[in-house]
Amino acid sequence: MFLLLGISILAFCLDVASELTKRTALGLIRSVLFYVVLPLALWATCLLAVHFKAGLIVNMALVVGIATVLGPALYRVAFQPMASANPLILLIAALAAHFVLVSMGLYFFGPEGVRTPGLLELALTIGSIGITYQSLLTVGACVLINAALYLFFAYTLNGKALRGTAINRRGAQLVGIGADFSGQLTFAIAGLIGAISGLLIAPSSPIYYDSGFIIGLKGFVGAILGGLGSYPLAALGSLCVGMLESFAAFWSSAYKEVFVFTLILPL
């Protein structure tokens, strides 16, 4: 929560400096609402949830809200000032942001892993195979997220604006699409999906302060298998990566990461 407040303050200061040069009151109002009011409201809600010992569902909703709001604030601070730069510079900025966030995670949460209780503790047996309801929930959430992304990008104006900005940033700006808003919206969606994914993974495997890095790399390998152009194919590629990792862990657990990342070479 303190990380969100700190990044939101930095984003608000940058927005104020930018909007004062443009002299637009509407932009200042939007900055106050998004970078001041909303983070403070989440902070107050978290304090109330701790005081009244809210249940698991409320805590999960707060985690999703914090991650979703953190995404646009991070984009505003780390990427928006250099959005038109060379991709190599953006990659360096992404690495710098990664190391800052990982260091903050180590400071706030410590090196110990965290494993949360699952929403569904029951399991079923099909033949000789045991399947937990939590695993079925994870697969179902993946299907629903892919369907939601398809509907968003195919039938909404903001989704089409994001696609246009991804294809040609300058061309999107020429036809009136706000590139800065597109970037912030992208990071908000990424934060939302990342938070949901973490909540679904945590009951099955302990989550450490740097777990997202390895998970993200494996997701990148899955996206490469899917051709980097379709999120359903990326999900299918990630499923193949998981199957390969499970086989590698059974055959030689010391080399399971090597098997996964070696897939990048032939592709």
Do 156 and 252 reside in the same domain of the chain? no
Q: Which of 160, 189, 209 is the last residue of a domain?
A: 209
Record the pTM. 0.85
Question: Does one domain contain both 86 and 158?
Answer: yes
User: Residue 212 and residue 190: Cα distance in Å, rounded?
Assistant: 13
Could you report the per-residue pLDDT of 35-66, keeping only the tens digit for each?
A: 888 888 888 998 888 888 878 888 888 989 99
| Residues 72 and 204 grouped into a single domain | yes
Residues 25 and 140 grouped into a single domain: yes
C-beta separation of 83 from 179 below 8 A: yes
Q: What per-residue confidence (pLDDT) applies to 23?
A: 57
- Range with top average pLDDT, 20-34, 142-156, 207-221, 228-242: 142-156
**Same domain flag for 173 and 256:** no
Asked whether the beta carbons of 111 and 209 are under 8 A apart, the reply is yes
* H-helix or E-strand spanning residue 130: strand 129-132
The domain containing residue 239 runs over which residues?
210-267
In tens, the pLDDT along 137-192 reads: 888 888 898 889 889 988 999 989 888 888 888 888 888 888 888 888 999 999 99
Look at the alpha carbons of 250, 256, 260, 266 in this order and tell me if their dihedral is positive or negative.
negative
Last residue of a domain, one of 160, 188, 209: 209
Classified as helix, coil or strand, 125 is strand
- Both 37 and 149 in one domain: the answer is yes
Same domain, 267 and 143: no
- Number of independent structural domains in the chain: 2
- Tokens 């990792």 label which residue? 245
Domain closes at, from 183, 209, 235: 209
Please give the biggest Cα pair distance in the chain: 68
* One domain, residues 187 and 257: no
Pair (165, 178) in one structural domain = yes
Task: Identify whether residues 218 and 168 lie together within a single domain.
Answer: no
Q: Are residues 90 and 150 in the same domain?
A: yes
Question: Does 45 lie in the same domain as 85?
Answer: yes
